[in-house]
Amino acid sequence: MKNAVPAVGLLALLALTACSASEPDAAPSASDQPTTSTPASPSAAPSAPPRSGTSDTDGETTKIVGTVVRFSSNATSVDVTIGQDNPAVRDFLSMLPLTLTFEDLAGKEKISYLSRKLNHSGSPGSDPEDGDLIYFTSWGNLGFYYNAAGIGYSDQTIHIGTYDAPLEQLQRLEGGDVTVEVID
């Protein structure tokens, strides 16, 4: 009788395992999926609307790469041409229009903090160059690089686009409100 108890337990365990196992190559069926949804956490970034090469709700295709975003202050404006289609860029564009304030960081870039961090999962890192607008994931800021010497590749530095403006023009973005909006 003592040997029968472990054997029955082992048979019960095997039966349960066989009932819950699925074939390794089989795709989960719709009945295997949860039927309830859970709300996103407060810190989760909302997903951006479909843009590049996809149809939006009106059936129109909207491009990402080549989109022009204007940063305007009372004293100047700087146009940035979007250079990549990635989750961070799409999320940034979904926030526009917005108002930011820029400041200098270490004689390398003009930065501004966004009101929330961008959804950047799946966005490639970059090796910034002068004339790049980047998103720095750790701090949640945008940066206009004007002196990228000595700055190397980082997974935390996501390329947003490029601009063509001298340092003097970037300096005129500092200290006041800067409106950011898509113009093209």
Quick: pLDDT tens for 53-107.
Answer: 443 444 444 799 999 999 999 999 999 999 999 999 999 999 999 999 999 999 9
Query: Would you say how long the chain is, in residues?
Result: 184
- Could you give phi then psi for residue 122, rounded to 5 degrees? 90, 0
Nearest residue to 179 via CA among 62, 97, 65: 97
Domain 56-182 has CATH 2.40.100.20: yes
Please write the tens of the pLDDT for every residue from 22-63: 333 433 333 333 333 333 333 333 333 333 444 344 444 479
Looking up tokens 């009945």 gives 31
- Could you give phi then psi for residue 120, rounded to 5 degrees? -120, 5
Beta carbons within 8 Å of 156's beta carbon, 6+ residues apart: 125, 136, 137, 138
pLDDT exceeds cutoff 50 at 168: yes
Mean pLDDT taken over the chain: 78
Q: What is the pLDDT of residue 122?
A: 97
pLDDT tier at 8 (50, 70, 90 boundaries)?
very low
Interior/surface letters 4-17, b for 16+ CB within 10 angstroms, e for the rest: eeeeeeeeeeeeee
List the Cα angle 61/47/31 in 5-degree steps: 100
